[in-house]
Structure 1
Amino acid sequence: MTRIAVIGGGRIGEALIAGLLESGRASKDLVVVEPVPARAELLADRFGIRATGVVADAAKSADLIVIAVKPHDVDGVLTELGKAELGDDRDQVLLSLAAGIPTLRFEAKLPAGFPVVRAMPNTPMLVGQGISAIAPGRYARKEQLALVTEVLQSVGKVVTVAESQLDAVTAVSGSGPAYFFLVVEAMIDAAVGLGLARDVAAQLVAQTMLGSAALLEESGQSAAELRAGVTSPAGTTAAAVRELERAGVRSAFYEALNAAKRRSVELGATPD
């Protein structure tokens, strides 16, 4: 069995561990690195896996090393990985879930030729409905990319893109749940303003979003086609859509995603 070390015991790391166990991975093949003792103990008890605060201890015996920390913590993790004597007697690969950090940054700090795969997941992986975009570094082989795909499929869907596209992916699906929740929040507030009770409004909006997403996925029609199907000439939906267009909803989303992409590029810049 493939041994997997998850470095970072936050929400993303925990979600990945839960997904791996639910998909049939054995708890003995997983280890999590978490520096906060109370959090490490909680994860060990909850999942029946080994927890440690030492990066090198977990990484040296792992086939797949998953970096699930914030971007500003990556360099510290790489320094600790330098103590693990990676690649000496194992066919290892590193999977980074850290936003914005290019594979070159990892390859420069790891042993020569060490394979790296970069991924951009999103938070719906917490309920097994995430989508991750993956991009191989210079040394990652097809079978290692297949392993990473299998691992991330335990928490959702996976697409493969060129690494040059990952900053755009970050802006779209990585940050996308926040845009969705903002729209939901705005619709609920508007519904309350129209006289609906907040709990009723929340249920109406949430189920409408859930059902619409399912319809989009299962119907085979595009979003534009489905929207047109709801929008009767001179009807209520047409009146609402006209106001959204007048408010510049399309340009607002374009500018928002552009800002997120620029920030992703900034996060990946080599520090001075």
Structure 2
Amino acid sequence: MERIGIIGVGEIGRAIVTGLCDGVDKSPEVFLSPRGAGTVAELSARYDGVQVCADNQEVVDRSELVIIAVRRQDRHEALAGLRVNDDRTVVNVMAGVANDDLRRTLGTDAPLVRAIPLPSVRERRSVTVTFPSHPVADAFFERLGGAQPVADEAAFNVFSALTGTLTSHYAYLATLTSWAAAQGIAPDDADRYIRSLFQGVGRALSDGTRSLQQLAADHETPNGNNERIRTTWFDAANSEALGKALDGLLDHLK
């Protein structure tokens, strides 16, 4: 797959381009929609194989695989009148937009695949959930860190809901930094320490031989500091509240 088109070059579109082109011996040709002039101009200037098209139709016409990454609320305007031949493979990365919905909008019989690429595709470290499994789309995401096909759209929506927890994690770290600053620690020192602390924890996640429960246990001693925070703050009520929030998000995605 050597001709890739991207309609909607926001954060995810930029990350995909970077993952495809940065530091590789041979990158594919990448065709970008013109909207977001600053971003697409920067990417086309940085990478030889990246070109900005005159419009979205040109993106489709010049590509074998077309990634649609516009915002959900903008899809009808962005895709109106677009002609997609049946020999294209279309990857839908719009959150909350089912393939049946997209097929009605495009009026095409081309294969449609939903996907959840994360910003870490720029480093080729993101495992991307896909539905349905398709050899072209799955091979594409394998080069960006891995593909994880799921059996049905219900399972896909569960994984989509899980991605909604990302910014809460960053906000949690920011809260820790603010607390330390309130105790008199210099904000820069608190920020540096929190980043180092959780980068180390993050590296432990690469050890697939230990379950998440085991990793938690390995970082905790009986009656120790970690156990105290886990049992007094992240208690059963807190865990239940998180589950309810995810249930609500899943209902919305359905």
Same fold (TM over 0.5): yes
Deviation at 1:188, TM superposition (A): 1.4
Residue in structure 1 matching 2:125, options 115, 118, 129? 129
**Structure 2 partner of 1:227:** 216
TM-score by length of 2: 0.87
Q: CA deviation at 1:255?
A: 2.3
Query: Is residue 91–residue 113 contact of structure 2 (8 Å, CA) maintained in 1?
Result: yes
The alpha-carbon deviation at position 7 of structure 1 amounts to: 0.8
| Structure 1 counterpart SS, 2:70 | coil
TM-score (norm 1): 0.82
Equivalent position of 1:42 in the other structure: 42
Partner of 1:198 in structure 2? 187
Compute the displacement of 1:190 (Å). Answer: 2.2
Does 2:175 align with 1:186?
A: yes
C-alpha distance in structure 2 between counterparts of 1:171 and 1:79, whole Å: 28
- Cα distance in 2, alignment partners of residues 69 and 100 from structure 1: 12
Q: How many residues align?
A: 251
> In 1, are the aligned partners of 2:31 and 2:62 still within 8 Å (CA)?
no
Relative to structure 2, which stretch is displaced further, 34-43 or 61-70? Answer: 34-43
Match of 1:74 in 2: 75
- The secondary structure found in structure 1 opposite 2:202 is helix
**CA offsets, 1:160-207, max 9 Å, x none?**
1122222211110x2232121122112212222343322222222222
Unaligned runs of 5+ in 2: none
Larger mean CA deviation between 10-19 and 148-157 belongs to 148-157
Alignment partner, residue 233 of structure 2: 244
Change (3 A) 1:152 1:254: same
| SS class of match (1:18) | helix
122 and 260 in structure 1: CA distance in 2 versus 1, 3 angstrom threshold: farther
Q: Is residue 21 of structure 2 the alignment partner of residue 21 of structure 1? A: yes
Where structure 1 has 5 or more consecutive residues not aligned to the other structure, the ranges are: 137-141, 266-272
Identity %: 20
The residue aligned with 1:164 is 154
More helix by share: 1
2:249 maps to 260
> Is 2:13–2:69's contact at 8 Å kept on the other side of the alignment?
yes
Query: C-alpha distance in 2, partners of 1:153/1:196?
Result: 43
Change (3 A) 1:200 1:229: same
1:95 positional shift: 0.4
| Paired residue type of 1:157 | G
Mapped contact 1:68–1:96 kept (Cα < 8 A)? yes
